[in-house]
Amino acid sequence: MMTDKVFFSVIESPIGPLTLTSDGSSLTGVYFEGRGGPPGHDPDWERDDSRLRTATEQLEEYFAGERSTFQLPLSPQGSPFQRKVWDALVRIPFATTLSYGELACRIGLPGAARAVGQANGSNPLAVIVPCHRVIGSNGRLTGYGGGKERKRWLLNFERRVSHRHEHPADFELVPG
């Protein structure tokens, strides 16, 4: 049942603590501590780890290399354009990347790479809606709400999981 109340939980992950938020029926946010987080824990927010158990379990499976997609009800708050971009993000396969321009083409707006980048940067569901899989057209890692180090870690982790018996090259942080 959806309410006006915000429920939250904080979980540990290999990339630091994550704050999960819910409206009571859907996941509304996954935020990194100190970066790209929610506006603040409002006094009316209620900690409810049991309400967010399924999301927690699926994130734990992801970080254990046992899950490559999520099956959760999601309700991110954003404009229709942002939601269109976020819907396209969840269709980027595990351990693959594409550029902002390619993502813009996928949503039928080939000239909107910058707007797609802004919507990508506003994604409130880190990891679950994999905005970390979008990189620059030159193949370089670009900005990320959780910081480029987390983005690099997530991409390298996904590559290693998808190639358990191979040794793919890691993404490097390149200035610029």
Q: What is the DSSP string of 28-85?
A: EEEEETTBS--S---TT-EE-TTTTHHHHHHHHHHHTTS-SS----B-----HHHHHH
pLDDT at 145: 85
What does the alpha-carbon distance between residue 81 and residue 147 come to, in Å, rounded to a whole number?
Answer: 24
Residue 131 annotated to the active site: yes
HSE on the CB side for 87, CA within 13 Å? 12
pLDDT at 165: 46
What pLDDT digit, counting tens, does each position of 134-162 carry? Answer: 999 888 888 888 899 999 999 999 999 99
What does the alpha-carbon distance between residue 26 and residue 75 come to, in Å, rounded to a whole number?
Answer: 6
pLDDT at 170: 56
Name the CATH topology of 7-63: Double Stranded RNA Binding Domain (3.30.160)
For residue 175 the two structure tokens come to: 């200035």
Spans of the chain, pLDDT less than 70: 1-3, 35-42, 165-176
Domain layout of the chain by residue ranges = 7-63, 80-162
Q: What is the DSSP letter of 133?
A: G
pLDDT at 166: 53
Residues 6, 18, 131, 155: which is the catalytic one? 131
pLDDT at 172: 56
- Give the global pTM: 0.88
What architecture is domain 80-162?
Orthogonal Bundle (1.10)
pLDDT at 142: 87
pLDDT at 7: 95
HSE on the CB side for 75, CA within 13 Å? 11
